[in-house]
């Protein structure tokens, strides 16, 4: 008997799964139904706990003015804005946009001398949480923003998929630098052209 394909579904249908529906549509084995329903119960409990923690964190944080402006950036919601504001800290310690993009790990770390590559720089310099936040924000911008999608597709036509995503993250980090420094809303036309 061939092995069954793994069950995959999005978050919306999984909420409507019942043991009867699992048995009828996916697997007749009672052990499998028990395993899936147990996993769904744990997942539901964890989702509730995460929502509770997010509400407490949201009420306790004192957001600087940059927090509100960051939420105008394509792909950045409340959690990413909190992460970026808290991990960036005081903007005066990073006086240029290039230093900020480097701190966010959104630029290459290479050593070039006389036009020749002389080795890899320290790729672990910078803040990994900011790198993660900007890559996630880039993913959302690629999926839900038409200008972000076009920018990504232009970059992807010329290079590898991950290089194109990193280019979107780099663009977002540069835009966020100016948003946080000048406390002005995000303008997608200025960011990606």
Domain boundaries, the chain: 11-60, 65-192
Which range, of 18-32, 33-47, 51-65, 155-169, averages the lowest pLDDT? 18-32
Residue 63 backbone zone (phi > 0: left; psi -120 to 50: alpha; other: beta): beta
Binning pLDDT at 50, 70 and 90, where does residue 184 land?
A: confident
Binning pLDDT at 50, 70 and 90, where does residue 1 land?
A: very low
What is the pTM assigned to this prediction?
Answer: 0.73
């Amino acid at each position: 008997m061939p092995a069954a394909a793994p069950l995959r579904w999005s978050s919306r249908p999984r909420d409507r799964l019942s043991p009867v529906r699992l048995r009828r549509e996916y697997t007749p084995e009672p052990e499998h139904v028990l395993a899936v329903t147990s996993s769904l119960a744990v997942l539901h409990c964890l989702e509730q706990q995460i929502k509770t923690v997010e509400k407490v964190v949201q009420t306790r944080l004192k957001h600087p003015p940059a927090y509100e402006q960051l939420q105008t950036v394509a792909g950045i919601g409340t959690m990413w804005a909190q992460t970026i504001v808290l991990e960036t800290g005081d903007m005066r310690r990073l006086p240029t946009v290039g230093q900020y993009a480097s701190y966010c790990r959104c630029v290459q770390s290479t050593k070039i001398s006389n036009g020749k590559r002389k080795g890899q720089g320290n790729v672990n310099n910078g803040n990994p949480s900011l790198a993660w936040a900007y890559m996630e924000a880039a993913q959302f911008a690629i999926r839900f923003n038409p200008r972000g999608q076009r920018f990504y597709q232009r970059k992807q036509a010329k290079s590898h998929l991950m290089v194109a995503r990193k280019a979107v993250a780099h663009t977002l980090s540069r835009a966020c630098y100016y948003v946080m420094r000048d406390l002005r809303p995000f303008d997608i036309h200025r960011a990606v052209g």
